[in-house]
């Protein structure tokens, strides 16, 4: 993977810790109870932006949590099965997400200087330093293949 620039953003550290990995980002709030399958780590909520995608071992970025307080225990269950996110970044964390991350020891940050759902994109490499209160984003650079033509002016690479 090629990453061409890095952005560093300060934020509020809620659950201290350090994690890094590829981001998975949603502009939709997440309900862990009923919205994420605790046996697979796949988002199952109908019409959710991440429906059908796994949050396992990713840096999960979303605005805030929603739903039942039992969602905290779903986060713990996911972590115990190695299916939870490596870290969570919210626009604004609420008690369900805070409790779940604290129970599961998943680094959690919010209130970044810039909106994380606007700055972080899927596949960006993100480092969450919940000890220093910093998020480092290495932007994924999609490499384009140059057009190569032969002597008849026909594209060779497609």
3-state secondary structure of 20: strand
CA distances from 49 to 46, 122, 144 (A): 9, 12, 27
Q: Is 72 a catalytic residue?
A: no
How far from each other are the two terminal CA atoms of the chain, in whole angstroms?
20
Distance set, CA 93 to CA 6, 81, 138, 153 (Å): 25, 23, 23, 56
Q: Per this entry, what is the length of the chain?
A: 158
- Residue 140 to residue 3: CA distance in whole angstroms: 5
- Find all residues with CB under 8 Å of 48, minimum gap 6, and list them: 26, 28, 30, 35
**26, 54, 68, 72: the active-site residue:** 68
Residues taking part in catalysis: 68
């Amino acid at each position: 993977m090629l990453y061409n620039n890095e952005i560093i953003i300060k934020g509020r550290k809620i659950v201290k810790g350090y994690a890094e990995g590829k981001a998975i980002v949603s502009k939709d709030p997440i309900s862990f109870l009923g919205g994420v399958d605790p046996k697979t780590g796949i988002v199952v909520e109908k019409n959710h932006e991440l429906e059908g995608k796994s949050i396992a071992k990713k840096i999960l970025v979303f605005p805030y949590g929603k739903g039942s307080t039992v969602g905290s225990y779903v986060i713990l269950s996911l972590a115990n099965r190695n299916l939870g996110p490596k870290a969570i970044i919210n626009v604004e964390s609420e008690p369900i997400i805070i409790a779940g991350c604290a129970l599961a020891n998943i680094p959690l940050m919010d209130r970044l200087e810039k909106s994380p759902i606007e700055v972080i994109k899927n596949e960006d490499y993100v480092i969450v330093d919940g000890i220093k209160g910093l998020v480092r984003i290495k932007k994924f650079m999609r490499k384009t293949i140059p057009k190569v033509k032969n002597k008849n002016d026909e594209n060779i690479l497609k």
